[in-house]
Structure 1
Amino acid sequence: MKQVFSVLSVTCVAFFTIFLSTTNVGCKKGDDGAKGDTGTANVMFSGWLNVKFQPQTNNDGDTVVWTAEIDAPKLTKAILDSGTVKVYLNIGTAASQTVFPLPIADFYYAAAYIESLNLYYTPGKITMYASQDASTETVAGQTYYQFRYVIIPGGVPAGRMGTDYQAVKDYYKIPD
């Protein structure tokens, strides 16, 4: 009885091995595809930028507003018509970020106080108007007050992440 069972077992194994090797039922490794880009789809973003604000004065020589421009060459009329632009201010350092979405009004954080910092967009440019000088600073080798923009073309879903920098960064896989 043991011999019949052994012969039957060997026959079954041989049959299935031959059957699977002559048909396309078995697994077969396909060709590797081309490596795609990582994470951000059509979303464009700048690095953290150093920005210098300039005082704008009235006829009496008093500073009435501080202005700065950020070049954003991929900011097109089509994006302005149907996309989204987000701008962030890191008042901390690269190693210890404290990031706020812009625009801001009545902003007070530690020793920093800015009554307002507003944004205006035109193709290729982001113009900022601030009530105080919000220029990038370097103190003891550490850089503070850097700006970053994120451009989300129309048709790319923004999801429900709001304006929080960390949520946008995580959602679109934007590197530090």
Structure 2
Amino acid sequence: MKNLSLNKIFGAVVCSTLFLSCSVEDGEDGAIGPPGLQGEQGLQGPQGEQGPVGADGQDGTDGQDGNANVIYSDWIDADWNSINLPRLKEMNIPVPELDDIELRNKTVVQVYLGQSGTNGVYAMPGTGRWSNTWYSYSFGHGTVTLNGIAIVLESTNGVDLTEDQYLGSRGNEFRYVLIPESAQSGKLDYSNYEAVKSFYNLPD
């Protein structure tokens, strides 16, 4: 009986020794398991209601008109109120908007001639539609009798002027345009009436 007990104790010691000598680190890594299933994507929620419309913005200030500083006349019938001779005529047109100094101080003064029998408008000085006439003008005389524009018509061939060449009732008329420095354009041909009219938005 005593020997049987010793044998059991010895066997238990041997087993314990063998168990302790087998380290966990000596084992091979196990294979990686399959990946888990990806979760299902959630459904998009419904679109929210549109918000209220914002208030209208404040209106901007209107820009200045392109011809705000430009002075222009209506068409003025020929009226030779200063000199009325068979071969020389002159009419004076007052310009109350500007005095003599302002007319001469960096202001473009352009006078145009309209005549019957043609749809064109002629820049002055020039002959108009005739070959023996010369229409010209001066301005800012600074005299007691005139503070404005003087228009002169002359015969250039020594022959008396005809009514078609000088009468207002025959379609001879004049229009002036005064352009101060602030409204002048270096690219504009002031002798071209249609270009000036369009650029400064002048009425007919």
Which runs of no fewer than 5 residues in structure 1 stay unpaired? none
Q: Choose 1 or 2 for highest CA Rg.
A: 2
Residues 46, 150 of structure 1: 8 Å contact kept:
yes
2:58 match = 31
Question: Hey, which of these two has a bigger chunk of strand by percent?
Answer: 1
**Distance change >3 Å, CA 125–CA 63, structure 1 → 2:** same
Does the 8 Å CA contact 1:55/1:63 hold for their aligned counterparts? no
- Matched residue, 1:157: 184
Asked whether the equivalents of residues 92 and 99 of structure 1 are also in contact (C-alpha less than 8 Å), the reply is no
- 1:172 aligned partner, one-letter code: Y
The number of equivalent residue pairs is: 150
1:4 corresponds to which of 40, 43, 52: 43
Does the CA contact (< 8 Å) of 1:39 and 1:173 recur in 2?
Answer: yes
Report whether the alignment pairs 1:99 with 2:99.
Answer: no
Between the aligned partners of 2:187 and 2:203, the Cα distance in structure 1 is 20
Provide the alpha-carbon RMSD of the alignment. 3.2
Q: Which residue is 2:30 aligned to?
A: none
Write out per-residue CA displacement over residues 4-50 of structure 1, whole angstroms, 9 at most, x where no aligned residue: 22x1x42xx45xx56xx7xxxx8642233565665412111001111
Q: How does 1:15-164 map to 2 (within 5 A)?
A: 28-33=55-60, 38-53=65-80, 56=83, 63=86, 65-76=88-99, 77-92=101-116, 97-104=119-126, 107=127, 109=129, 112-122=130-140, 124-132=147-155, 134-139=165-170, 144-162=171-189, 163-164=191-192
* TM-score normalised per structure 1: 0.68
1:119 CA drift (Å): 1.1
Residue 171 (str. 1) matches residue 199 (str. 2): yes
Return the alpha-carbon distance in structure 2 between the equivalents of residues 97 and 71 of structure 1. Answer: 27
SS at match of 1:161: coil
Q: Please say if residues 114 and 121 of structure 2, whose CA atoms lie closer than 8 Å, have aligned partners that are also in contact.
A: yes
Verify the 8 A CA contact 2:93 2:148 in the aligned structure 1. yes
- In 1: Cα distance, 2:200 partner to 2:74 partner: 14
Conservation of the 8 A alpha-carbon contact between 2:82 and 2:91: no
Cα deviation 1:96-120 (Å, max 9, x = unaligned) = 732000011xx262xx444322211
Moved more, 130-139 or 117-126: 130-139
* Higher RCO (CA < 8 A, seq sep 6+): 1
Instruction: Supply the distance in 2 between the matched residues of 1:32 and 1:166 (Cα, whole angstroms).
Output: 34
User: Is this contact kept in 1: 2:121–2:193, CA < 8 A?
Assistant: yes
Structure 2, unpaired ranges of 5+ = 1-39, 156-160
Specify the code of the residue in structure 1 equivalent to 2:43: V
